[in-house]
Structure 1
Amino acid sequence: MDLQLKDKVILISGGAKGIGGAISKMLIDEGAIPVFIDPSEEEGRELVDYAKGKALQIPVRMFTPEDAQAAVKICLEKYGRIDGIVNNAGANDGVGLEHGTPEAFAKSVTKNLNHYYYLAHYALPELKKTQGAIVNISSKTAITGQGGTSGYVAAKGAQLALTREWAAELLPYQIRVNAVIPAEVYTPLYKNWINTFPDPEKKLAEINQKIPLGRRMTQPEEIASMTVFLLSKQATHITGQHLFVDGGYTHLDRTL
């Protein structure tokens, strides 16, 4: 299947490693040009080398609107267009209701949510020109809950709401907006969390047993496959959707 992504310029927050890195690499394989906004310099250099220079790293985190505006400007100065964005950066920081504070909650929501709006807002004029696409990476925690992570889950739920809102608002411009929802994906951040348990291997095995399809984690490349498809011209009549790539974790009975 030709995804018709050759030379398409895609902005990706957190696009140097983990799920974002897998998305960037798959875009390179499809002939697209990923521009990843991510301070992970070593992983970023490896991706640029893999792309034989046909990629760009912007080594910042988008804490402010100005950060996002600058990233869009850098991308346009280099490539002159934006064909899609992937909002991906974020981290489950464990700010809960019982043991968190209002201040920590507000900070968690801000750092996991606001940059999704910032990047979409500043990229929008270019997406109108290209009839581009937006993909928001959310989390199954927005659907299932997890416990002890109110800030992160509030942000992830808002991302799903914004996906539908933006899909409705941007219909006149033929800009498609969808969300991809992972569950258990073994990224570097996930590995760090697993290693906080007294017996990480036992905890990992317990989690794998709760994933109905194959009793295994979803691979970052499987999230990337869905994301890249949604960015492509093969998905031109898909918008406002929440697409689960999770081995049945969210919707199937885990006793199966």
Structure 2
Amino acid sequence: MDLHLKGKSIIVTGGAKGIGLGICKVLANEGALPIIIGRNETDNQSTLAEIQSLNGQAHYITAELTNPADCERAIKDALSIAGRIDGLVNNAGVNDGVGLEGGNYDSFMASLHKNLVHYYLMAQYALPELKKNKGSIVNIGSKTAETGQGNTSAYAASNGGRNALTREWAVELLKYGIRVNAVIVAECFTPLYETWIKTFDHPEEKLKSITDKIPLGHRMTTEEEIAHMVAFLLSEKSSHTTGQLIHVDGGYTHLDRALG
């Protein structure tokens, strides 16, 4: 399916690794110009080289999005590079394990800045261009906002905020024709996820215990499957879809995990 994204300039935060990398590769394959926003220069360069090796185009901007000034600079730099902004994918974040019992004020607030505040700032700074081009916003979220996980209060709160902002912005931006949706992730095997699995004494057994509970196929969601939904939501093919929280998770969040 041609999503008619050719020539569209799409900002992807956290675009150098994991789900963000998958999104950038799919967008480039569709002929769009993903602009990678990441904190690590080496990772950004590596992702750019990978996309170029696949005959795609991309640019990157190195920025620390927990710094509000970097959020503003990233949007300005993206506009200087591409001349326009047609879409924003808010993806950067980390499940940093700031719980209720073991957390504190400083770590909780720092996690909100890692996982939520920059979603707001990036959208706000990109808004003039998105209004001009009737662009779209896609927020990447996590099932933790709906299911809970334990020992991750700040991350769960951030994802609850991402869901709420998706609905709120969809309402506020209706008058500009800007669509806002979220893709909710449950169990996706990213490099960060792999690192977490390896912390267990028997990582293969732990992974199997998780995949056994994923109803559709008893397997992890792939980065590419997330990315294809994101590309669809950025495109005119989803022209009457806004304010939606779309779970790409093999039924993990909402289907009975006792299904065998």
The bucket for the TM-score relative to the shorter chain is over 0.9
- The list of structure 1 runs, each at least 4 consecutive aligned residues, that deviate by more than 4 angstroms after superposition, is none
Deviations 1:28-69 (A, max 9, x none): 000000001013444433432323572111122211221111
2:82 is aligned with 1:79: yes
Q: Distance in 1 between matches of 2:83 and 2:205?
A: 50
State percent identity of aligned pairs: 58
2:207 is aligned with 1:204: yes
Q: How many residues align?
A: 256
TM-score, with length taken from structure 1: 0.97
Verify the 8 A CA contact 1:17 1:40 in the aligned structure 2: no
For structure 2, which runs of at least 5 residues remain unmatched after alignment? none
Provide closer, same or farther for how the CA distance between residues 203 and 29 of structure 1 changes in structure 2, counting only shifts above 3 A: same
* Alignment-mate amino acid for residue 182 of structure 1: V
Match of 1:116 in 2: 119
Structure 1, 80-89 or 192-201: larger mean CA deviation? 192-201
Match of 2:17 in 1: 17
Q: Distance in 2 between matches of 1:209 and 1:65?
A: 41
TM-score, with length taken from structure 2: 0.96
Match of residue 105, structure 1, among 80, 100, 108: 108
Deviations 1:185-205 (A, max 9, x none): 000110111111111111101
2:162 is aligned with 1:159: yes
Match of 1:219 in 2: 222
Match of 2:39 in 1: 39
Verify the 8 A CA contact 1:96 1:147 in the aligned structure 2: yes
Deviations 1:54-108 (A, max 9, x none): 2111122211221111111111111110000000000000011111112211211
* Alignment-mate amino acid for residue 35 of structure 2: V
Verify the 8 A CA contact 1:131 1:174 in the aligned structure 2: yes
Q: Distance in 2 between matches of 1:254 and 1:145?
A: 15
Match of residue 146, structure 2, among 143, 147, 159: 143
Q: Distance in 2 between matches of 1:144 and 1:194?
A: 20
Q: Distance in 2 between matches of 1:131 and 1:65?
A: 25
Secondary structure of the equivalent of 1:134?
A: strand
Match of 2:231 in 1: 228
Verify the 8 A CA contact 2:15 2:38 in the aligned structure 1: yes
Structure 1, 83-92 or 61-70: larger mean CA deviation? 61-70
CA RMSD of the aligned region, Å? 1.1
* Alignment-mate amino acid for residue 225 of structure 1: H
Verify the 8 A CA contact 2:97 2:152 in the aligned structure 1: yes
For structure 1, which runs of at least 5 residues remain unmatched after alignment? none
* Alignment-mate amino acid for residue 24 of structure 1: C
Q: Distance in 1 between matches of 2:56 and 2:221?
A: 29
Q: Distance in 2 between matches of 1:247 and 1:41?
A: 34
Deviations 1:107-145 (A, max 9, x none): 112221000001000000000010000000000011100
Match of residue 191, structure 1, among 179, 190, 194: 194
Match of 2:97 in 1: 94
